[in-house]
Amino acid sequence: MSVYEDMLKCAKAAQQASRTMATLSSETKNALLLQMAENLESAREGLQKENDRDIQQAKKNAMAAALLDRLTLTTDRIKGMADGLREVAGLPDPVGEVTGMWLRPNGIRVGRQRIPLGVIGIIYESRPNVTADAAGLCLKSGNAVILRGGSEALHSNRAIGKILQQSLQGMALPQGALQVVTTSDRNAVTELLKLEDQIDLIIPRGGEGLIRFVSEHSRIPVIKHYKGVCHTYIDRVADLDMAEQICMNAKVQRPGVCNAMETLLVHREIAAAFLPKIAAAMKKAGVELRGCEQARALCPDMIPATEEDWFAEYLDLILAIRVVDSYEQAREHIQTYGSLHTEVVVTDDYQCSQRFLREINSSVVMVNASSRFSDGNQLGLGAEIGISTTKLHSFGPMGLEDLTTRKFVVLGDGQVRG
C-alpha cells in the first residue's frame, strides 16, 4: 500500500469510529479515560523501555540536552499523563448541550445542539506526552483522533498508542477512534492533510515552521498559533508597584512560553518615574533591555531597539521597551506589531481600561493582571488543547468546547414552507 492509501484507510477508520464516539454517554467516555490512565501507569516499565530506544537514538544524533529532557518519560511524567487523563475525565462534557431553543411563528421549534467535530488530526513535535494529553481531550469531546508525532519520539508514541488502544479494545470501542501514525514515511503528513472529506480539523503543535508547513499544505481547516508577541502597556495613571510586579512576572517567571511579555509600552508621563525602576529590576533578573530613543534617554545603557525588535517573539530574557505619547499610540503599536495573542494594560483609569478592552481585539485582553494567565487552565477552561491566534472557530486558548461545533435541530408537527 502507498502512504496515501495507508492514510486514507486510517482516516476512513477514524471517520467510521467517530460516529460511534459521537453518541457515547459521558459516563462511557469518562470510564474510557480512567481506564487509559490505569493502563498507562501499569505499563510504565514497558513504556520506559520503548522511550529509552528513542533516547539512545537521540543521543546518537547528538540531540540538544533541553530536547532530550523533553523526550524523556520519567516515572513522574507518566504519572502526569495518567493524572491529566483523570482530570479531563472529571471535566463537564460539552457534547449534547442545547444552547437556545426558540419558537418560530409557524410553530417549529429551533435549537442548536453541540456535537463533536468528528475527526481531529494532531501533528506535533518531540514531547511524547502530547499523545496522551491530546487523545484524552479529543475522545472526551466525542471525536476520533489521528496522532502524528515527531520521528524522534517514534517508539514512545507507538507504545503510548498501543496502551491507549488496549483501553478502547477492553471496552469494545472502535480502534479507529485513536490511531497513532508511526510510519517513517515523511509524506504521511502531507497525505493526511489532503483528506478533507474524512478529517474535520488539524491542530499542529510545535514551532512556527511546523505550523506554517501544515497550514500551507492542508486542505483541512487548521488551528493556527504562530507567535505570541505579548504587550504590557503602563498607562499614565497606574499603580507603579503593581505595574512592576506584573511586568516582572510577565517577563521572567517563564520567558520561554508564548504568553510571556515581549514588549513593554510606557506612557511618557510616567516614564521617568517607572522606567529606571523597572529597568533595574529587569537587569537584576538578567533581562537584556532594548529601548526606543526616549527610553534610552532615561536609561542610557539599554541597547537601541530596531524595527525588528517590535515584531520579535524572543522567548528569552530579552525585552523591548517603547515610550508612547498616549493610549492611542500604544493601541496603534499593538495593532501594527502584535500577533493577536495577549495584551495587558496596567491602569487605574476607568476610561482607559474600558477603551483597552473594547478597542484591542487580540485573543486575550487584560486589565491589571500578568499576561502569563493567558492559558486554558488559568482562564478556567479546565484543560487546553492549544491556542488560536486566528479568529475563525476559536480565538485564544482552546478547551473541550472548542473541539465541538453546533448543529441546528428543528422540531415540527408537519410544517411545510408556503
Among the candidate windows 27-35, 72-80, 318-326, 356-364, which touches a copy of itself by CB under 8 A?
356-364
Instruction: Considering the complex, state which of residue 216 and residue 307 has its C-beta at the smaller distance from a copy of itself.
Output: 216
Identified binder of a copy of itself from the candidate list 17, 22, 180, 321, rule CB under 8 A:
22
Distance CA 213, CA 234 (A): 37
Spatial contact of 72 and 51, defined as CB atoms under 8 Å apart: yes
* DSSP secondary structure letter of residue 105: T
Residues with Cβ within 8 Å of residue 180, at least 6 apart in sequence: 131, 147, 148, 149, 157, 158, 160, 161
Nearest approach in angstroms of CB 411 to a copy of itself is: 5
Q: Does 301 bind a copy of itself (CB under 8 A)?
A: no
Burial call 241-268: b when 16+ CB within 10 Å, e when fewer? eebbebbbbbbbeebeebbbbbbbbbbb
* DSSP secondary structure letter of residue 339: -
* DSSP secondary structure letter of residue 91: S
The three cell numbers of residue 224 are: 493556527
Residues 310-349 that bind a copy of itself (CB under 8 A): 335
Spatial contact of 388 and 370, defined as CB atoms under 8 Å apart: no
How many residues form the binding site for a copy of itself (CB under 8 A)? Answer: 68
Picking from 184, 162, 157, 156, the residue whose alpha carbon sits closest to that of residue 175 is 162
Residues 23-62 that bind a copy of itself (CB under 8 A): 23
Nearest approach in angstroms of CB 345 to a copy of itself is: 10
| Helix residue ranges per DSSP H, 25-64 | 26-42, 44-60
Among the candidate windows 56-64, 123-131, 165-173, 387-395, which touches a copy of itself by CB under 8 A?
387-395
Name the residue with cell 515523511. 186
Q: Does 176 bind a copy of itself (CB under 8 A)?
A: no
| Helix residue ranges per DSSP H, 150-286 | 154-170, 188-192, 208-217, 240-252, 268-284
Q: Does 216 bind a copy of itself (CB under 8 A)?
A: yes
Identified binder of a copy of itself from the candidate list 209, 286, 300, 414, rule CB under 8 A:
414
* DSSP secondary structure letter of residue 222: B
Among the candidate windows 50-58, 79-87, 180-188, 362-370, which touches a copy of itself by CB under 8 A?
362-370
Distance CA 352, CA 234 (A): 11
Identified binder of a copy of itself from the candidate list 221, 294, 297, 349, rule CB under 8 A:
221
Instruction: Considering the complex, state which of residue 184 and residue 336 has its C-beta at the smaller distance from a copy of itself.
Output: 336
Identified binder of a copy of itself from the candidate list 365, 385, 398, 400, rule CB under 8 A:
365
Secondary structure class of 186 (helix, strand, coil): coil
Among the candidate windows 18-26, 67-75, 174-182, 300-308, which touches a copy of itself by CB under 8 A?
18-26
Taking the CA of residue 28 as centre, how many other CA atoms within 13 Å lie in the half-sphere pointing to its CB? Answer: 14
Instruction: Considering the complex, state which of residue 133 and residue 402 has its C-beta at the smaller distance from a copy of itself.
Output: 402
Instruction: Fill in the amino acid letter for 369.
Output: A
Q: Does 359 bind a copy of itself (CB under 8 A)?
A: yes
Q: What are phi and psi of 131, to 5 degrees?
A: -55, -50
Nearest approach in angstroms of CB 177 to a copy of itself is: 15
Instruction: Considering the complex, state which of residue 293 and residue 332 has its C-beta at the smaller distance from a copy of itself.
Output: 332
Secondary structure class of 171 (helix, strand, coil): coil
Q: Does 166 bind a copy of itself (CB under 8 A)?
A: no
Residues 242-261 that bind a copy of itself (CB under 8 A): 242, 245-246, 248-250, 253
Identified binder of a copy of itself from the candidate list 2, 5, 9, 19, rule CB under 8 A:
19
Distance CA 381, CA 204 (A): 20
Identified binder of a copy of itself from the candidate list 6, 38, 239, 288, rule CB under 8 A:
239
Among the candidate windows 85-93, 130-138, 314-322, 410-418, which touches a copy of itself by CB under 8 A?
410-418
Identified binder of a copy of itself from the candidate list 397, 398, 399, 400, rule CB under 8 A:
397
Residues 100-139 that bind a copy of itself (CB under 8 A): 102, 104, 108, 110, 113, 115-118
Q: Does 183 bind a copy of itself (CB under 8 A)?
A: no
The three cell numbers of residue 240 are: 507603579
Spatial contact of 261 and 228, defined as CB atoms under 8 Å apart: no
Q: Does 238 bind a copy of itself (CB under 8 A)?
A: no
Interaction site with a copy of itself (CB under 8 A): 19, 22-23, 96, 102, 104, 108, 110, 113, 115-118, 200-201, 215-216, 219, 221, 239, 242, 245-246, 248-250, 253, 335, 357-359, 361-370, 372-374, 378-380, 390-397, 405-417
